Structure 1
Amino acid sequence: MTKPNILVLMVDQLNGTFFPDGPADWLHVSNLAALAARSVRFRNAYTGSPLCAPGRAAFMSGALPSRTGVYDNAAEFGSDLPTYAHFLRRAGYQTCLSGKMHFVGPDQLHGFEERLTTDIYPADFGWTPDYRKPGERIDWWYHNLGSVTGAGVAEITNQMEYDDEVAHHAVAKIYDLSRGHDPRPWALTVSFTHPHDPYVARRRFWDLYADCDHLLPEVPAIPYSDQDAHSRRLFDANDWTRFDIGDDEIRRARRGYFANLSYIDEKIGEILATLKATRQEAIVVFLSDHGDMLGERGLWFKMSFREGSARVPLMIAAPGLTPMRIDAPVSTIDVTPTLCDLAGVSMMDVEPWIDGRSLVPTAEGQARGAPVAMEYAAEGSEAPMVALRQGRWKYTRCALDPEQLFDLDADPHEMTNLAADPDHAETLARFRGMADDRWDLDRFDADVRRSQARRLVVYEGLRKGGYYPWDFQPLRKASERYMRNHMDLNVLEESQRFPRGE
């Protein structure tokens, strides 16, 4: 049986509330809209952890941070943790990554046979938080609100340069795959850094949103004193008192964000058009690592279990899966077992260890009753936080904070915490029991603190004397490209052409 090719399209920091059933109709994203029309669309998909590195490690491994040890943006992704790239490669796939995956540590492949670009963020331990110093800001790597006040137009930025390169190499790789030199099925992951801040966009995309009706959040800023405990920590982590954020700044930041989503849509269109032009077929998965609050409640970026930060788009177009919308809550940690299921690849050796479960039965109509779990133990927190989403309910817990319980059907903006409401005591008790069964928060906290302390020592030691970075260095075998004198020109020209003989 021929195994299907797989194309994973990942973006960074895309708020899932803008994808209620595919992209909202006011977004200028025609390619994503076309993909949605042929996909299973998961309306209520959540990240495993609302931050880049822990969210991506959870997505690739199918396991949450308390299992992977990838707690924050400077925690090592252990080379002994199987990913979908390992499973597929083991089953005979050629696996390739173009773009970001925010791997930290000396293993910069994690099952990918080939990597076409370097990463956009550092691979070392330099961004390690320290729970021993609550409230400490590290300005050179913590987010601040300069991304909001600095929103606007530019023709090139650090992020655009990166995503231009990611798309270029992905298109070239798809062309190369069409030549058929390698008979194996392929799994290509293309991972962009947009629409992640800074909210700076090219003029032609910026102009698309001149008359947009969605440039202000539905829930305006809530006073600092009225925010929940974790949201206050995020305000402080973002150094909010040094910035004056008014409606004009909010409009420009959101406009830049939407513009960059249109920019990424164009890149995705180029990739899908190349796939079609080369007559190749593939399962296509589209998702984000986490969301962006975009000024809702006065919050920006991620690091929160609130819907804008934790909810992400997830769409899967695959033979045998009828395009439809699914409302049951699911998680990005379900993607790895789903890909293996669709490819006929066994995960039996590690299945008891992972947290995710295949979405294929859900897409085929089976009920999904298990709660979706999330964890967060990174910057802006001072102790691990956990959450459960099941049915209409979302529950959050942290040893430092009051519990939260929200009815998302009645209260989609999470304005009313029902944890202290006697009418919901039974629901609260049920979620408490599920959380007790799943987590030992004292142990979780001790594990995070031990990891942080070790990494801080190692980082300081490795930055003394000679410096040997772990950042991925893409190799280009120039003597094996185009025409060289160890090649037969006639054979070369024929073998490098697709289609042949037309």
Structure 2
Amino acid sequence: MKRPNILFIMADQMAAPLLPIYADSPIKMPHLAKLAEQAVVFDSAYCNSPLCAPSRFTLVSGQLPSRIGAYDNAADFPADVPTYAHYLRRLGYHTALSGKMHFCGPDQLHGYEQRLTSDIYPADYGWAVNWDAPDERPSWYHNMASVLQAGPCVRTNQLDFDEEVVFKARQYLYDHVREHADRPFCLTVSMTHPHDPYTIPRHYWDLYEGVDIPMPLNPLEQDQQDPHAQRLLKVYDLWDKPLPADKIRDARRAYFGACSYIDDNIGKLVQTLEECGLADDTLIVFSGDHGDMLGERGLWYKMHWFEMSARVPLLVHAPKRFQASRVAASVSTCDLLPTLVELAGGEVQSNLHLDGRSLLGHLQGQGGHDEVIGEYMAEGTVGPLLMIRRGAYKFVYSEDDPCLLYDLSRDPHERENLTDSPDHQTLLQALVDEARQRWDVPALRQQVLASQRRRRLVAQALAIGTLTSWDHQPLVDASQQYMRNHIDLDDLERKARYPQPAPLD
């Protein structure tokens, strides 16, 4: 049986609760909505760590951050950790990545046979978190300039990147049908929008002219925040600095425009599949790495376990294989590795550890697990911040801060922490006991501290003398492009054309 092609599209920092496929929303995303109509849509999908690199390392490996050292945005991702790209490549797939994956360390491929672009973020250890100096705000980290300067633009660093990402991805599909049509592909297209800064070209800004931009539903004063949220306000320099309401609205409007920009790119990729005759044989997965608080609860960006930060979009579009449906159970992006391997007709290796669980039962309408385990050890933390999502409840455990417990079936906006509720003491104690059994927090704390200290020393040393960059350098052999004298002109033109014309008599 021919293995299906796989197109895996990722968006960065896209908050699922705001999207029109999940809620009544002013965000315009017609291409995603069209995919969702024929897809299995997961209504309660989460990242396993609400920060770019840890989330992505977990997504590609199917293993939780503590198992692979994915502690923060400067964590080394070991080359011997199998990813879905390794698994699919063993099955005969051509595995390619266009765009962001925020790999840190000297291995910038991690099983992908081809990387079409460089990354937008650095591959070194410069962004390591420092628990030895918890009160020092890192100068390189987010501040509120992206909100205070929100509005329309002509060009940004992120637009430069995503334009290249989508162009190279479409070119890959054209090259595939012209040169490698007999080999299945897994193409991952990972865009950086709608990640801040909150600015987008005028066309997308104007899509929301006259639209009532909803403001945050549940803004909290800083003294009402939990301790981790209070530390976050200080990390991104919002403590004692209230934001003007018009800039909050502008930031959200630009974010909505960036979601529409992503949607247009989804449309371009799907159109390219159709033009190349690949649509029927290509399974499409759409997801993201984490969300964005966007002012909800008075918070911005990610780095917490609240819904806007931790919930991600997830759908699988394969209408010939799976009926369109909605899945209410909680799942995570950690589950994608075993799912992709099974969809490709392979099996995960049983003697290697995996935290992710296949979503195939859900896709087939037969049900499956309803649980997400999460770990966060980066900005704003002074120790591990751990999460269990199961059934109606979300539980956040820390040995430094008070626990959090929410019943999302009755309280979707997480306004009522149930840790003091008399009716929930038995459940709370059971979850606390489970967390203490699941994690050896003192040992994990030491593990993280040791990693941070090693990476700081290495980063300081490598900054001295000649720099050898780990950033991926996509190589292009210009001698094989376009028209060259060592290639027969007629043969070149015929092979480069799709569909190929009939030969002349």
TM over 0.5: yes
Q: Are residue 336 (structure 1) and residue 337 (structure 2) matched?
A: yes
Partner of 2:112: 112
Q: Deviations over 1:219-255 (max 9, x none)?
A: 12x1111100110011010111474402101100000
Partner of 1:91: 91
Q: How many Å separate the matches in 1 of 2:90 and 2:446?
A: 35
Q: Which amino acid aligns with 1:170?
A: A
Q: How many Å separate the matches in 1 of 2:122 and 2:470?
A: 8
Q: How many Å separate the matches in 1 of 2:164 and 2:90?
A: 28
Q: Deviations over 1:380-430 (max 9, x none)?
A: 111111000011100000110111111011111111111122211121122
Cα distance change of structure 1 residues 269 and 369 upon mapping to structure 2, 3 Å threshold = closer
- For the 8 Å contact 1:288–1:312, the answer to whether it is kept is yes
Q: Are residue 279 (structure 1) and residue 277 (structure 2) matched?
A: yes
Partner of 1:426: 426
Identity of paired residues, percent?
A: 48
Under a length normalisation based on structure 1, what TM-score does the superposition of the two structures give? 0.97
Q: Which amino acid aligns with 2:326?
A: R
Cα distance change of structure 1 residues 457 and 380 upon mapping to structure 2, 3 Å threshold = same
- For the 8 Å contact 2:20–2:33, the answer to whether it is kept is no
Q: Deviations over 1:274-329 (max 9, x none)?
A: 11011113110000100000000110000000000000100111231111111100
Q: How many Å separate the matches in 2 of 1:93 and 1:473?
A: 23
Q: How many Å separate the matches in 1 of 2:164 and 2:351?
A: 35
- For the 8 Å contact 1:23–1:33, the answer to whether it is kept is no
Q: Are residue 170 (structure 1) and residue 165 (structure 2) matched?
A: no
Partner of 1:488: 488
Q: Deviations over 1:176-205 (max 9, x none)?
A: 111143631001000000000000010010
Other structure's SS at 2:187 match: strand
Q: How many Å separate the matches in 2 of 1:181 and 1:396?
A: 48
Cα distance change of structure 1 residues 367 and 418 upon mapping to structure 2, 3 Å threshold = same
- For the 8 Å contact 1:290–1:311, the answer to whether it is kept is yes
Cα distance change of structure 1 residues 326 and 20 upon mapping to structure 2, 3 Å threshold = farther
Q: How many Å separate the matches in 2 of 1:24 and 1:40?
A: 19
Q: Report how far residue 344 of structure 1 moved.
A: 0.9
- For the 8 Å contact 1:215–1:255, the answer to whether it is kept is no
Residues 115-124 or 176-185, more deviating:
176-185
Cα distance change of structure 1 residues 418 and 22 upon mapping to structure 2, 3 Å threshold = closer
Q: Which amino acid aligns with 1:460?
A: Q
- For the 8 Å contact 1:57–1:70, the answer to whether it is kept is yes
- For the 8 Å contact 1:394–1:408, the answer to whether it is kept is yes
Q: Report how far residue 20 of structure 1 moved.
A: 6.8
Partner of 1:185: 184
Alignment of 1:198-277 (within 5 A): 198-220=197-219, 222-241=220-239, 243-277=241-275
Residues 209-218 or 84-93, more deviating:
209-218
Q: Report how far residue 68 of structure 1 moved.
A: 1.2
Q: Report how far residue 366 of structure 1 moved.
A: 3.0
Q: How many Å separate the matches in 1 of 2:310 and 2:458?
A: 31
- For the 8 Å contact 1:11–1:192, the answer to whether it is kept is yes
Partner of 2:307: 307
Q: Deviations over 1:91-115 (max 9, x none)?
A: 1000111100000000001111111
Q: How many Å separate the matches in 2 of 1:181 and 1:344?
A: 20
Cα distance change of structure 1 residues 367 and 278 upon mapping to structure 2, 3 Å threshold = closer
Other structure's SS at 2:17 match: helix
Q: Which amino acid aligns with 2:156?
A: T
Partner of 2:148: 149
Q: Report how far residue 437 of structure 1 moved.
A: 3.0
Partner of 1:159: 158
Q: How many Å separate the matches in 2 of 1:456 and 1:501?
A: 59
Q: Report how far residue 19 of structure 1 moved.
A: 3.5
Structure 1 gap segments, 5+ residues each: none
Q: How many Å separate the matches in 1 of 2:350 and 2:488?
A: 46
Q: How many Å separate the matches in 2 of 1:291 and 1:214?
A: 18
Q: Which amino acid aligns with 1:394?
A: K
Alignment of 1:375-394 (within 5 A): 375-394=375-394
Under a length normalisation based on structure 2, what TM-score does the superposition of the two structures give? 0.96
- For the 8 Å contact 2:359–2:368, the answer to whether it is kept is no
Residues 279-288 or 367-376, more deviating:
367-376
Q: How many Å separate the matches in 2 of 1:470 and 1:255?
A: 36
Q: How many Å separate the matches in 1 of 2:470 and 2:141?
A: 21
Other structure's SS at 1:373 match: strand
Q: Report how far residue 213 of structure 1 moved.
A: 2.8
- For the 8 Å contact 2:40–2:324, the answer to whether it is kept is yes
Cα distance change of structure 1 residues 331 and 68 upon mapping to structure 2, 3 Å threshold = same
Q: Deviations over 1:137-178 (max 9, x none)?
A: 112x21111111010111100111111111111111111111
Other structure's SS at 1:43 match: strand
Alignment of 1:69-84 (within 5 A): 69-84=69-84
Q: Which amino acid aligns with 1:379?
A: E
Other structure's SS at 1:327 match: strand
Note the aligned Cα RMSD (angstroms): 1.4
Cα distance change of structure 1 residues 21 and 152 upon mapping to structure 2, 3 Å threshold = closer
Other structure's SS at 2:9 match: strand
Q: Report how far residue 24 of structure 1 moved.
A: 4.6
Q: Report how far residue 50 of structure 1 moved.
A: 0.2
Alignment of 1:395-474 (within 5 A): 395-474=395-474
- For the 8 Å contact 2:20–2:26, the answer to whether it is kept is no
Residues 329-338 or 487-496, more deviating:
487-496
Structure 2 gap segments, 5+ residues each: none
- For the 8 Å contact 1:45–1:331, the answer to whether it is kept is yes
- For the 8 Å contact 1:54–1:65, the answer to whether it is kept is yes
Q: How many Å separate the matches in 1 of 2:26 and 2:246?
A: 21
Q: How many Å separate the matches in 2 of 1:265 and 1:135?
A: 40
Q: How many Å separate the matches in 1 of 2:467 and 2:27?
A: 45
- For the 8 Å contact 1:23–1:32, the answer to whether it is kept is no
Q: Report how far residue 438 of structure 1 moved.
A: 1.8
Other structure's SS at 1:461 match: helix
Residues 18-27 or 467-476, more deviating:
18-27
- For the 8 Å contact 1:369–1:390, the answer to whether it is kept is no
Partner of 1:354: 354
- For the 8 Å contact 2:303–2:376, the answer to whether it is kept is yes
- For the 8 Å contact 1:95–1:186, the answer to whether it is kept is yes
Q: How many Å separate the matches in 1 of 2:378 and 2:256?
A: 27
